[in-house]
Amino acid sequence: MPVSPVQLIWNAVDIYILIIIVRVLISWFHPNPYSSIVQLICRVTDPFLDAIRNACPFLVVGGLDLTPIAAIFLLDITRRVLVGVLS
């Protein structure tokens, strides 16, 4: 059964959002930074999160980083626009 482009985009964004949430949890619990899973998650999410931090430095307030929330919001808006265009 073939997967439609809309379904593929929806699922890919869902997976990336889940990885961002895991990245947030990693930052709270400080696991072994040399773990290959931790390094993979950081390599996958940090470029996107860093780009948002650079574009919107006001999202980091004191020790509170709101960048992941903004990233999830942007991903969801992008997904909805793409799905609307492709549907």
Convert the pLDDT of each residue in 20-56 to its tens digit: 999 999 999 988 989 999 999 999 999 999 999 999 9
CA-based nearest residue to 27, from 66, 75, 76: 66
Write down the pTM of the prediction. 0.90
Confidence (pLDDT) at 52 = 97
Structure-block tokens of residue 84? 């609307």
Confidence (pLDDT) at 3 = 80
Euclidean distance between CA atoms 71 and 61, whole angstroms: 16
Convert the pLDDT of each residue in 6-24 to its tens digit: 899 999 999 999 999 999 9
What is the residue extent of each domain of the chain? Answer: 5-82
